[in-house]
């Protein structure tokens, strides 16, 4: 397959010896594929640091199109989630290397070491984002996610003020209102409600919250078919279609959108949503009075029209729309899926659900609904949310790139001896949340669901569901506020149980847990099917 290079017999012997131990694969494969000239150079510059060797580059389209992990060929998109910390345990170090040969020689490092991750995230210029991997979020325009350096600072200085304390309060109030709307007008205060897949419910809840607290459009569960003049879809419908079929944006190019009715509808929804956002910008500019609403979009427009540093320029309309789309993407699916996993976990562990309920009752007292001022006291509910994020991080891999030759430090997890890892320029460095969150160095009994671990001192640097450092998620408080409010309202009124289904009558607890919390890899970690029953409390 590849010509064997024989310039370095010692290297060949070392590599084959290591691969023979690591892979126990055939001599033909090692000679024809692995010990290729390109891969030789990769192994040399990394000093053959322990890890995996693949033909296909893990970030290549072809490698990610292969659904399963194929040893020595491709990682597969689910490999990181399936193995969690096992790879690091195998190599006895919390940094491992991946050297691949095609379509070009590529070196990457997976990090499950909290100190090394802090080193990377605290030095943005040395470890920037590889922007070529962040083209998808720019479908609506340049934004805070897909930029670096001075351009990123310009977006940050305008985007960050949008997430204000008044907006947080609006998020809370709208989350409570929308959840009560569901309970009263969809569930009809029924004594028992069966949901075939909880993600469908949580996706609707977070969609309505982002519509209201993000765009200033209050919508309810009642169907609204009004379509304004000049549009072919209502705002609610366009927002819903864009969110539900977000994956099409990443994998279906615009020139291929005609391929099916569903892709055509998604393309139309994208066009409609962009038009709605442009109209909102135009309306804000022509309005003589400032709105007293604190939704993200208006806050972003206000920040963009305010006083700026002389060295900065305002965001264009395309950039404004690009940023609000990123807020939509980050704030909708990730929160919805985390809430779905949380409800599934609470159904499996009734003692943890009871602890969260008692926390809500002690804070809420005789009042019918929790208030924003209660949020900081709902510590067990927050602990449930955090533990869910630890076990099921929405984004398992956060990618950076070495801008120059550098080194990182870790240790041998058996001998505790320090290890220096050579990181060549242009190497990909992956902050491996899946490995970090299950690393027994930081988390006792890491596979167990134990929300109480977040009620005492806990390793904050080993918890990265919102990333960490200067480029951590700007919407973290939005997500926390929304999720705690929704959980508090539901749990105060209903007990959550796993739906009993005859075909699963004989399963063990571990089998039930695996079934209920199974997932697939979409834009974020996505629950497959979480059937639940909500029973009204006395």
**Length of the chain (residues):** 538
What is the reported pLDDT for 5?
Answer: 33
3-state secondary structure 304-319: HHCCCCCCCCCCCHHH
Indicate the annotated binding residues: 473
Residue 389 within a domain: yes
What is the reported pLDDT for 304?
Answer: 84
Query: Which runs of E-coded beta strand occur in 46-154?
Result: 51-56, 95-102, 106-111
Rounded Cα distance, 328 and 270, in Å: 13
What is the reported pLDDT for 106?
Answer: 82
Residue 147 within a domain: no
Q: What angle do CA 464, 143, 106 make, to 5 degrees?
A: 60
Looking at the fold, whether 267 and 346 belong to one and the same domain comes out as: yes
What is the reported pLDDT for 44?
Answer: 55
H/E segment holding residue 45 = helix 37-45
Within 13 Å of residue 435, how many CA atoms lie on the same side as its CB?
Answer: 27
Q: Going by C-beta distance under 8 Å and a sequence separation of 6 or more, which residues neighbour residue 41? A: 105
Rounded Cα distance, 269 and 277, in Å: 12
What is the reported pLDDT for 511?
Answer: 96
Looking at the fold, whether 213 and 341 belong to one and the same domain comes out as: yes
Tokens read off for 481: 């506020």
Looking at the fold, whether 189 and 337 belong to one and the same domain comes out as: yes
Maximum Cα–Cα distance across the chain: 79
Looking at the fold, whether 254 and 269 belong to one and the same domain comes out as: yes
DSSP states along 196-264:
S-HHHHHHHHHHHHIIIIIHS----SS------TT-SS-HHHHHHHHHHTHHHHHHS-GGGGGGSHHHH
Residue 3 within a domain: no
Residue 382 within a domain: yes
Domain, as residue range, for 103: 9-136+404-436
CB atoms closer than 10 angstroms to residue 407 = 10
Nearest to 160 by CA among 480, 467, 385, 478: 478
Looking at the fold, whether 481 and 519 belong to one and the same domain comes out as: yes
Residue 507 within a domain: yes
Tokens read off for 219: 């919508």
Per-residue pLDDT of the chain (538 residues; tens, 9 = 90+): 222 233 334 444 443 444 333 333 333 333 333 444 455 555 555 666 888 888 888 877 777 777 778 888 888 877 878 899 999 999 999 999 988 887 776 889 999 999 999 999 999 899 998 877 766 656 678 888 888 888 888 888 888 888 889 999 999 999 999 999 999 999 999 999 999 999 999 999 998 998 888 888 888 887 666 788 889 998 888 888 887 777 676 666 677 777 888 888 988 988 898 898 888 888 877 776 556 678 888 888 888 876 656 556 788 888 888 888 888 777 788 999 999 999 999 999 999 999 999 999 999 988 989 999 999 999 999 999 999 999 999 988 899 999 999 999 999 999 999 999 989 899 999 999 999 999 999 999 999 999 999 999 999 999 999 999 888 888 899 999 999 999 999 999 999 999 999 999 999 999 999 999 999 877 789 999 999 999 999 8
H/E segment holding residue 462 = none
Looking at the fold, whether 166 and 288 belong to one and the same domain comes out as: yes
Rounded Cα distance, 323 and 215, in Å: 12
Contact between residue 245 and residue 328 where contact means Cβ atoms under 8 Å apart: no
Looking at the fold, whether 260 and 317 belong to one and the same domain comes out as: yes
End-to-end Cα spacing for the chain: 70
Q: What is the CATH number of the domain that holds 340?
A: 1.10.630.10
3-state secondary structure 367-417: CCCCCHHHHHHCHHHHHHHHHHHHHCCCCCEEEEECCCCEEEEEEECCCCC
Rounded Cα distance, 110 and 398, in Å: 10
Looking at the fold, whether 203 and 247 belong to one and the same domain comes out as: yes
Tokens read off for 435: 């490995």
Looking at the fold, whether 178 and 106 belong to one and the same domain comes out as: no
Residue 518 within a domain: yes
Number of H helices, E strands in the chain: 21, 12
Looking at the fold, whether 286 and 420 belong to one and the same domain comes out as: no
Backbone dihedral angles phi then psi of residue 252, each to the nearest 5 degrees? -110, 110
Looking at the fold, whether 233 and 266 belong to one and the same domain comes out as: yes
Residue 146 within a domain: no
Residue whose pair of structure tokens reads 């199109």 in the numeric block? 65
For 120, 393, 398, 449, 487, the CA distances from 461, given in Å and listed in that order, are 12, 15, 15, 19, 26
Looking at the fold, whether 227 and 340 belong to one and the same domain comes out as: yes
Indicate the annotated binding residues for heme: 473
Q: How far is CA 186 from the centre of its chain?
A: 29
pTM tops 0.85: yes
Residue 2 within a domain: no
Contact between residue 266 and residue 239 where contact means Cβ atoms under 8 Å apart: no
Number of domains in the chain: 2
């Amino acid at each position: 397959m590849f010509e064997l290079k024989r310039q370095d017999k010692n290297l060949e012997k070392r590599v084959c010896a290591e691969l023979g131990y690591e892979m126990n694969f055939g001599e033909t494969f090692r000679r024809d594929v692995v010990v290729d000239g390109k891969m030789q150079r990769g192994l040399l510059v990394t000093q053959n640091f322990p890890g995996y060797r693949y033909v296909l580059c893990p970030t290549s389209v072809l490698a990610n199109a292969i659904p399963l992990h194929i040893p020595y060929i491709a990682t597969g998109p689910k490999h990181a989630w399936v193995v969690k910390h096992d790879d690091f345990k195998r190599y006895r170090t919390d940094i491992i290397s991946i050297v691949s040969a095609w379509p070009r020689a590529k070196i990457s490092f997976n990090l499950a070491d909290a100190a090394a991750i802090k080193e990377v995230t605290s030095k943005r210029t040395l470890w920037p984002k590889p922007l070529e991997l962040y083209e998808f979020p720019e479908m609506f325009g340049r934004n805070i996610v897909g930029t670096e350096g001075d351009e990123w600072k310009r977006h940050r200085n305008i985007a960050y003020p949008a997430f204000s304390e008044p907006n947080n309060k609006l998020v809370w109030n709208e989350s409570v209102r929308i959840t009560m709307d569901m309970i009263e007008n969809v569930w009809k205060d029924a004594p028992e409600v069966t949901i075939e897949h909880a993600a469908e419910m949580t996706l609707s809840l977070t969609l309505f919250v982002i519509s209201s607290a993000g765009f200033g459009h209050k919508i309810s569960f009642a169907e609204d078919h009004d379509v304004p003049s000049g549009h072919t879809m209502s705002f609610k419908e366009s927002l819903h279609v864009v969110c539900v079929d977000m994956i099409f944006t990443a994998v279906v190019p615009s020139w291929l959108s005609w391929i099916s009715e569903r892709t055509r509808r998604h393309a139309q929804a994208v066009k409609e949503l962009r038009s709605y956002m442009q109209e909102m910008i135009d309306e804000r500019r022509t309005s003589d009075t400032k709105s007293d609403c604190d939704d993200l979009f208006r806050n972003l427009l206000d920040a963009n029209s305010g006083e700026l540093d002389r060295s900065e320029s305002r965001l264009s309309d395309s950039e404004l729309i690009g940023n609000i789309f990123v807020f939509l993407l980050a704030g909708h699916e990730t929160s919805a899926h985390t809430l779905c996993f949380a409800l599934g976990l609470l159904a499996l562990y009734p003692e943890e659900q009871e602890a969260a309920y008692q926390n809500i009752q002690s804070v809420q007292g005789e009042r019918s609904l929790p208030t924003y001022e209660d949020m900081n006291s709902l510590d067990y509910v927050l602990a449930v949310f955090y533990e869910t994020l630890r076990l099921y991080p929405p984004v398992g891999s956060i990618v950076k790139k070495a801008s120059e030759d550098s080194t990182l430090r870790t240790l041998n997890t058996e001998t505790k001896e320090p290890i220096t890892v050579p990181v060549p320029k242009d190497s990909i460095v992956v902050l491996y949340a899946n490995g970090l969150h299950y690393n027994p160095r930081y988390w006792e009994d890491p596979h167990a669901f134990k929300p109480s671990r977040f009620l005492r001192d806990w390793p904050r640097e080993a918890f990265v569901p919102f990333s960490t450092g200067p480029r951590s998620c700007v919407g973290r408080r939005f997500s926390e506020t929304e999720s705690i409010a929704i959980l508090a309202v539901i749990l105060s009124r209903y007990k959550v149980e796993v739906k009993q289904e005859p075909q699963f009558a004989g399963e063990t607890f571990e089998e039930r847990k695996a079934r209920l919390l199974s997932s697939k890899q979409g834009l974020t970690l996505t629950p497959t099917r979480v059937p639940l029953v909500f029973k009204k409390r006395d």
